[in-house]
């Protein structure tokens, strides 16, 4: 018998007025988990929510008024972010608050998506999570890191990763030629002619498909790893 955890602990400085919606979010989650008798009851509960909640998560479909909200979660029928969130005044910023987020049964991407929408004053921010096990089980440990910004949630290799200094190339596998690399001027070709992107540039570019295969991204090693450090 073993217990498995997805753990995180991080803090954010946010606007206190924005953070006032957080208790309501927990009430909405509890109501959805309990269930509604019919769509009319769900719509009535949505209508009783605060104006800010209704603006952030409009009821585009009256039969499923919480659809925009539940799509943030891995289980839309039983949403849960799995974290404990506490809020306290920020002594260094009048009108600010410090948000503490922690838990050992966390849905990290649901948490990232929620905070991205609810607390724009805290953007951008980064956090990590760990997948752990109470016993030494093979392949039972893992985790990851993300940056949450106004545009999207970006997976990271580490909390210190510099998105403006990464060197990425787009690549596809051709059955006849092997790996081909994207060049903005000529399309796919050899690595020596490849266009190099930062992570932020890669997030914005839209590359063409080759047949049914979508291009992937590879990170080039630092120059010093190939040529040695220059004194």
- Rounded Cα distance between 186 and 220, Å, is 20
- Percent of the chain's residues with pLDDT above 70: 94
φ/ψ of residue 126, rounded to 5: -130, 150
For residue 151, how many other CB atoms are within 10 A of its CB?
12
The per-residue pLDDT for range 105-147, each reduced to its tens digit, is: 999 999 999 999 999 999 999 999 999 999 999 989 999 999 9
pLDDT at 226 (0 to 100): 45
More confident residue, 162 or 148: 148
Contacts of 18 (CB under 8 A, 6+ apart): 118, 119, 120, 121
More confident residue, 108 or 215: 108
pLDDT at 210 (0 to 100): 66
The per-residue pLDDT for range 173-202, each reduced to its tens digit, is: 888 888 999 999 989 999 989 999 887 788
3-class DSSP state of 173: strand
pLDDT at 7 (0 to 100): 97
pTM comes to: 0.75
pLDDT at 133 (0 to 100): 96
pLDDT at 225 (0 to 100): 44
């Amino acid at each position: 018998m073993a217990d498995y955890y997805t753990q995180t602990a991080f803090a954010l400085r946010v606007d206190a007025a924005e953070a006032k919606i957080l208790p309501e979010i927990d009430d909405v989650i509890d109501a959805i988990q309990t269930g509604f008798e019919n769509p009319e009851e769900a719509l009535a509960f949505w209508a009783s929510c605060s104006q800010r909640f209704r603006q952030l998560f409009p009821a585009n479909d009256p039969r499923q008024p919480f659809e925009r909200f539940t799509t943030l979660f891995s289980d839309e029928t039983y949403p849960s972010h799995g974290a404990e969130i506490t809020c306290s005044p920020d002594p260094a910023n009048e009108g600010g608050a410090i948000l503490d987020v922690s838990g050992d049964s966390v849905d990290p991407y649901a948490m990232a998506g929620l905070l991205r929408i609810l607390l724009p004053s805290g953007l951008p921010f980064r956090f990590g999570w760990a997948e752990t096990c109470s016993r030494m089980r093979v392949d039972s440990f893992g985790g990851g890191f993300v940056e949450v910004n106004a545009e999207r949630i970006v997976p990271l290799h580490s909390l210190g990763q510099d998105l403006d200094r990464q060197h990425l190339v787009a690549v596809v596998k051709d059955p006849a030629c092997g790996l081909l690399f994207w060049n903005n001027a000529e399309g796919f070709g050899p690595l020596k002619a490849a266009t190099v992107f930062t992570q932020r540039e890669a997030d914005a570019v839209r590359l063409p498909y080759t047949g049914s295969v979508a291009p992937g991204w590879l990170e080039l090693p630092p120059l010093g790893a190939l040529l040695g450090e220059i004194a």
